[in-house]
Structure 1
Amino acid sequence: MLNIALLSKWHVHAEDYARQAIQNKNINIKVVWDEEVERGRKWAGQLEVPFESEMGKVLSDPEIDAVIVDTPTNLHKEIMIQAANNKKHIFTEKVLAFTVEDCLEILSAVKENQVQLMVSLPRLTENYYLYAQAVIDKGTLGRLTSIRCRAAHNGAVPTGEGSKGWLPEYFYNKQQTGGGALIDLGAHPIYLTNRLAGKAKAVTAKLQETLGYEVDDNAVVIVEYESGALGTLETSFISAGSPFQLQIFGTEGTLLIEDQTVRLKSKQTGEEWIEPDLPEAIPLPMEQWVDAILEAAEPTLTEEDFMRLTLINEAASVSNEQGRRIVLADFLV
């Protein structure tokens, strides 16, 4: 049994992770901490666990085995390094950190202290991703040429006078978030396409502040991969009714995924559109994290996934600011 501390209810998925923890027979929520005391006290009351206002006391408590970090993203580095140095395993919302350099510092602390780190990249466990990866690996589409992936919602669309949509207003605070639609919702197209297309070599991005927020609410990123494939990654906080789309194109076929509908057309399957049977989804990131801690199981989500997500985000931000294509080999020097 793992005794867990919940660190902040800042992120919109914090309640989801608390629910996953409650439903996991190997997790016991021991305490809540929050950078906003009243929010934390209220949440702790709802969960019927103690609230602790001092982070240091939580992380130094020998009864705490691990932490779930849902703080503002600008606090990730400091908190995670401190948690690792106190031998606490770490589960966190994406992204791991704003920069590759910060990620490397976190990963160094994690490795030095031999703790398990997991970043929640849940769509890498979904049945449609597993099927898409298998189709590419088998060569059913021929040579991979292009991937288009879109994840968008209307969270920043005003719904009334003075309203900024259903997202928390602090999601538009650039200091806390490091960005808007791309760094948050756009993470899904980034990490999915990274996995499917392989190693990236260059990024060109446009991050737009359509409704005048401090952060981007609409973004497109073009990623060039070493394989020769192109990735077009789209995201938005201001798109009503936009379905999730993953479109994969190759020299011998096409795979189209739109929400729950999956269609394949390939020379190798007779050139007619088919709706294939999908594999079973694999355990969610939190389940994999717990299994890694308690059973030394190897997670399917890796440090490379976490690092490459930040790499594309950081390069996209620089590309947008400087109005140019970013070559990642130069960017990492």
Structure 2
Amino acid sequence: MVNVALLSKWHVHADDYAHQANQNKHLEIKVVWDENAERGKEWARKLGVPFEQDLMKVLSNPEIEAVIVDTPTNLHKEIILLSAKNKKHIFTEKVLAFTVEDCKEIYEEVQKNKVKLMVSLPRLTEDYYLYAQQVVNEGLIGKLTYIRCRLAHNGAVPFEGNPNGWLPKHFFNKEECGGGAFIDLGAHPIYLTNRLAGPVKAVTARLQKQFGYEVDVNSVAIIEYENGALGTIETGFLSGRSPFQLELYGTEGALLIEDNKIRLNSKSAGEGWNAPERLPDALPMPMEQWVNSIIDETVPTITDTDVQGLTLINQAALLSQDRGRRVETAEIIIDKQRV
């Protein structure tokens, strides 16, 4: 049994991860810490575990073997580094950190202390993504020329009694979040398209503020890939009833995914649009992969390349927005080497 501490209930997915931990036969939640003591105490009471206000007491406790981090994103680096230095395995919400340089520092500490780090990128385990990857790998649409992914919801649309929508108010705090819709919800289209289209050469982004928010709530990025393909990533908090869409276009066909509807039009798969007869089996969810890596050294399918690639796009998009121009990823440098 792996004894776990929950570090903060700041993120909207914190309850989901607590539920996943409770459902996993190898994990046991032992304590809650939260930078907001009142929130943390209430959560601890709900879960039936103690609350500890001193973070270092949690991290220095030898009985605690792992942590689940759902703090404000601007606290990720500090808390994850402290956790690694105290030999705790780490599961955390995306994004890992605001810069690729910070991500590299975290991974170095993780490797030095021989602990397991998992960032929650759940759509990389889904059957539709695995099918899309299979289509690309097998060349069923020829050479990929264009990819588009859209994920948006109405979390910032006001409704009666909720002038900021259903998202918590702190999700619009630029200091804590590092941004708005693009860095949060946009993470999913980013890491999906990174996997499918490959290394990124340049980013041109428009991170739009509306309704008086200090962060972007309606955003688009044009991505140029090293293989010559183009891509578009779309996200936002102002779209009611917006479907999830993933589209791949190639020299010999196209793959369209809209929510649960999947259609392939391929030169090598017959005439017209066809639904796949069978999708690949979904992979274990990120938390399960994390636990397996702790218990039996199983290598996760979600990698540091996925995690750092996510931060790279966010960093380049923010720079593009601030400078009003196209940004090449070569401009974002660590140790004088290209990311």
Scaled to the shorter chain, the TM-score interval is over 0.9
Summarize the alignment of residues 66-215 of structure 1 with structure 2, pairs less than 5 Å apart: 66-160=66-160, 163-215=163-215
SS of equivalent to 1:262: strand
Q: Which amino acid aligns with 1:290?
A: V
SS of equivalent to 2:12: coil
CA-atom RMSD, angstroms?
0.8
Q: Distance in 1 between matches of 2:161 and 2:15?
A: 28
SS of equivalent to 1:269: coil
Residue 15 of structure 1 corresponds to 15
Q: Which amino acid aligns with 1:12?
A: V
Q: Which amino acid aligns with 1:114?
A: K
Q: Which amino acid aligns with 2:30?
A: K
Runs ≥4 residues deviating over 3 A: none
SS of equivalent to 1:103: helix
Structure 1 position 160, deviation (Å): 2.6
Residue 326 of structure 2 corresponds to 325
State whether structure 2 residue 224 is matched by structure 1 residue 221.
no
Structure 1 position 161, deviation (Å): 5.9
Residue 47 of structure 1 corresponds to 47
Q: Distance in 2 between matches of 1:161 and 1:60?
A: 43
Q: Distance in 2 between matches of 1:20 and 1:88?
A: 19
Please list the CA deviations of residues 194-216 of structure 1 after superposition, one character each: whole Å capped at 9, or x if unmatched. Answer: 00000001000000002120100
Residue 295 of structure 2 corresponds to 294
Structure 1 position 271, deviation (Å): 2.5
Q: Which amino acid aligns with 1:288?
A: Q
SS of equivalent to 1:234: strand
Q: Distance in 2 between matches of 1:307 and 1:282?
A: 21
State whether structure 2 residue 315 is matched by structure 1 residue 314.
yes
Question: Which runs of 5 or more residues in structure 1 are unaligned?
Answer: none
SS of equivalent to 2:136: helix
Q: Distance in 2 between matches of 1:160 and 1:28?
A: 39
Please list the CA deviations of residues 247-275 of structure 1 after superposition, one character each: whole Å capped at 9, or x if unmatched. Answer: 00001010000001101000101132111
Q: Distance in 2 between matches of 1:296 and 1:249?
A: 38
Q: Which amino acid aligns with 2:64?
A: I
Residue 261 of structure 2 corresponds to 261
Q: Distance in 2 between matches of 1:230 and 1:67?
A: 38
Question: Which runs of 5 or more residues in structure 2 are unaligned?
Answer: none
Aligned residue-pair number:
333
SS of equivalent to 2:268: helix
Residue 246 of structure 2 corresponds to 246
State whether structure 2 residue 25 is matched by structure 1 residue 30.
no
Q: Distance in 1 between matches of 2:91 and 2:183?
A: 18
Q: Distance in 2 between matches of 1:211 and 1:194?
A: 31
Q: Distance in 1 between matches of 2:211 and 2:195?
A: 32
Residue 63 of structure 2 corresponds to 63
Q: Distance in 2 between matches of 1:161 and 1:285?
A: 35
The share of aligned pairs that are identical, in percent, is 65
Please list the CA deviations of residues 130-165 of structure 1 after superposition, one character each: whole Å capped at 9, or x if unmatched. Answer: 000000000000000000000000000011366100
Structure 1 position 246, deviation (Å): 0.2
Please list the CA deviations of residues 76-110 of structure 1 after superposition, one character each: whole Å capped at 9, or x if unmatched. Answer: 00000000000000000000001111111111110
SS of equivalent to 1:188: helix
Structure 1 position 329, deviation (Å): 1.1
Q: Which amino acid aligns with 2:313?
A: I
Q: 104-113 or 155-164, which moves further after superposition? A: 155-164
Q: Distance in 2 between matches of 1:231 and 1:71?
A: 31
Q: Distance in 2 between matches of 1:316 and 1:209?
A: 14
Q: Distance in 2 between matches of 1:228 and 1:158?
A: 41
SS of equivalent to 2:301: coil
Residue 285 of structure 1 corresponds to 286
Q: Distance in 1 between matches of 2:53 and 2:162?
A: 33
Q: TM-score by structure 2 length?
A: 0.97
Q: Distance in 1 between matches of 2:86 and 2:108?
A: 14
Q: Which amino acid aligns with 2:187?
A: A
Q: Distance in 2 between matches of 1:316 and 1:173?
A: 18
Q: Distance in 2 between matches of 1:3 and 1:179?
A: 33
Q: Distance in 1 between matches of 2:221 and 2:16?
A: 28
Q: Distance in 2 between matches of 1:231 and 1:120?
A: 23
